[in-house]
Structure 1
Amino acid sequence: MYSVIPYQAAYAPSVSQLFHDAIHAIDESQYSAADKSAWSAKPRSAYHWHKRMSQTKAWLVVDSSVISAGKHICCGFTNIETGYYGQGYIDSLYVHPAHQGEGLAKSLYETMEVWARAQGYTDLTVDASRLSKSLFLSYGFKVNHKSYQEKLGQIIMGYLMSKPLTDLKRQRCHTQGLT
């Protein structure tokens, strides 16, 4: 039984390992071994991930049976920027390779979108990988353009995508005084 919970510091080591494992499980037809090594040469410190997750709004998917055993292992995680400049930017959405295809990314995404709407965010954006592009398309995101990130000398291609969270028809009626 899986649960989506707010991020907790005790999970930082698990988040770090999950990120590294997820990157290195990507098929080489999507990203080369050199790309994956540049993206995550080794697991980053728990401190790095705790800082990154704490400075955003973040959630974890955990196995409820493992929680009761006192273990802090996450099966997936996501986080979204909350600062004014980056507000609504999805920083990450990863699911451990052993749990992919089980609907965990969907649970994380839906939790994040519900929260973002409740905060009044007008849109969401993400730099999606080749692998996650179809996932975000399925949630109504549109590709704005290809994006490129340099990591340890490797250029890693992805897609800048966005999704409006406001009902444009309702918004037009409201601004025209037709509500």
Structure 2
Amino acid sequence: MNNSIKQSKHIVDFSASYAIQISQLYHTAVQGIVHPRYPKLKLNVWSSAPRSAKFWQQQYKRNKAWVMLDNQQVIGFISLETHFKYRGYIDCLYVHPNYQHQGVASALYKHLQHWALQQQYPNLTVDASYLSKALFEKMGFIEQHTNYQQKRGQMFTSFYMKKILTT
């Protein structure tokens, strides 16, 4: 793990008991974004309120997910599609605002990549936001194309990126 991650922090597999904390973290992370490309109206469309625990429990029945804990508090999470044509797609990567820029996202990604290599996944893909694009580039992802999605009158831009794991 990154040297800036203290020993009290560790990564564990998702379990349903973390769903409420993940829901709150997701909403807090989105609402905590301060960036000119993400005005308040857009953030409210992205996450107007925490989703139900049941949503996250259902979401991670079909995906593989990990959480980073700091003294049993969820401070970040990442998930990966494991079935069908989306196998290897990184679905979510969120870090609580109080823990951003401390190596949490990098540690979560490296944990996911290690697991994917063990499973012999040929590649990983992600739709990176403006905010996460640099992290994925640093991890070796290459931009394939730009995506645009309209949701409730707001346009969301993402960058579809890919990393080859095997040669």
TM-score (norm 2): 0.92
2: CA distance, partners of 1:15 / 1:152: 24
Counting only pairs closer than 5 Å after superposition, residues 12-51 of structure 1 correspond to structure 2 as 12-51=19-58
Counting only pairs closer than 5 Å after superposition, residues 115-126 of structure 1 correspond to structure 2 as 115-126=115-126
Counting only pairs closer than 5 Å after superposition, residues 83-162 of structure 1 correspond to structure 2 as 83-162=83-162
The match for 1:10 is 17
* Gap runs ≥5 in structure 2: 1-7
SS at match of 1:21: helix
CA offset digits 1:95-153 (Å, max 9, x no partner): 00000011111110001001111111111000000000000000000111111223233
- The structure 1 segments of at least 4 consecutive aligned residues displaced by more than 6 Å after TM superposition are none
AA of the residue aligned to 2:45: A
SS at match of 1:3: strand
Whether contact under 8 Å (1:76, 1:93) holds in the other structure is yes
SS at match of 2:65: strand
Whether contact under 8 Å (1:58, 1:78) holds in the other structure is yes
Whether contact under 8 Å (1:18, 1:95) holds in the other structure is yes
AA of the residue aligned to 1:35: K
1: CA distance, partners of 2:151 / 2:79: 20
Whether contact under 8 Å (1:30, 1:131) holds in the other structure is no
The match for 1:165 is 165
2: CA distance, partners of 1:147 / 1:48: 25
The match for 1:52 is 59
Alpha-carbon offset, residue 35 of structure 1: 1.2
CA offset digits 1:14-72 (Å, max 9, x no partner): 00010011111111313121111111011110110111122200000001xx33xxxxx
2: CA distance, partners of 1:57 / 1:45: 19
2: CA distance, partners of 1:101 / 1:87: 28
Q: Which has the larger radius of gyration?
A: 1
Size of the alignment, in residue pairs?
160
SS at match of 1:114: helix
1: CA distance, partners of 2:146 / 2:57: 29
* Gap runs ≥5 in structure 1: 68-72, 168-179
TM-score (norm 1): 0.86
2: CA distance, partners of 1:11 / 1:97: 18
SS at match of 1:57: strand
| Identity within the alignment, % | 41
